[in-house]
Structure 1
């Protein structure tokens, strides 16, 4: 018992000590894409920069004080849109993003669910937002409009309990059918969403955040990568991972 106690105490103290250590950041003024920057950092230091608290931000800003340009940090997010009801259905790759708003635009890195507007265009949106929604009834093969506003998760639960699931839209014809169910001037949840995954390159837990309140254009990318700058007070954003930027290691 005593041996177990002291082993547990040792590891608790070790974790506490480690969490209090300041990261030593290194600015690398070489232009690389995110993956090459990651490889460089892992070879010469530990990894691309992880920023875990406001103290890290202050130290980070000191390191990048010589440039106002964007620099890579260790953030990334995988783009894996899936339908709630038919994850592997034929035609599930159909999309009708609202091009006038450059959707999906992932504003403030907080838009993981998809709604359809009265014009048939799709927007990514905060899943906690309350909208009416469209269910699918597999028994009758009909789409069903529900006027009560709910967040995405509650809307899905309602559809599963009363019909089949939130609407899966597989082609232009189905998009037009769903569009007719959306009230003028409104949006409605569909079944499309993606995992709320945002990771650090070194696999640190993602708890602290410092997002810039801007669009993070996804386009056709399957992954987007994190960047920041002194000019933006180290506020974070996502960019295409193939872009070449200087970077910060730790």
Structure 2
């Protein structure tokens, strides 16, 4: 989606898309912390930027989800405190000491600016019900991460894939292998979100490989691997 189209959608007060992320433009002027609270209460979190293409699609003076605990800490994203790994898009004289939150400027080529977190700005909220977390974790670590994203009455878990559309969506990502919520526990396969497992050809009694992934290297809807391997992972918002 072009920046012009994203701006048009936002001005209409409806949802836009940044990269593969569903976002909502909020025209309230809030501090960074209040914006974070608002997004976590009504949506998912403040927007995360992971690619140059996503960065180019936001062309307004808005808070980003990036912050640090103090001037000597590493920068991270609000959603799950994911480390900031995307190549910096800083303005030439930023970041500054004592400014621990970040916003995107529409001038200066859309550079990132550090700011005191008490300043007020408009902002974008993430509103995805299914999203990839680009941190390498074991299956257990991924499960803990997804469940830690709980906000208000919203609950999150490792993703359950229940329809062909779910599988197609996840396989369309430019990632070879990603954790899902599929796990062998006790004497059966389960989705950790509580839904029934629909695969008829799955190994009934695995010895070592007991965790499920979406795997672009196979034609199957799923693959099973050792839970101690590390991968990116999919979280989803539970509907109950």
TM-score band, normalised by shorter chain: 0.3 to 0.5
More strand by share: 2
Q: Scaled by the length of structure 1, what TM-score is found?
A: 0.39
Tell which structure's C-alpha radius of gyration is larger.
Answer: 1
TM-score normalised by L of structure 2: 0.40
Higher RCO, Cα 8 Å, sep 6+ = 1
Bigger share in helix: 1
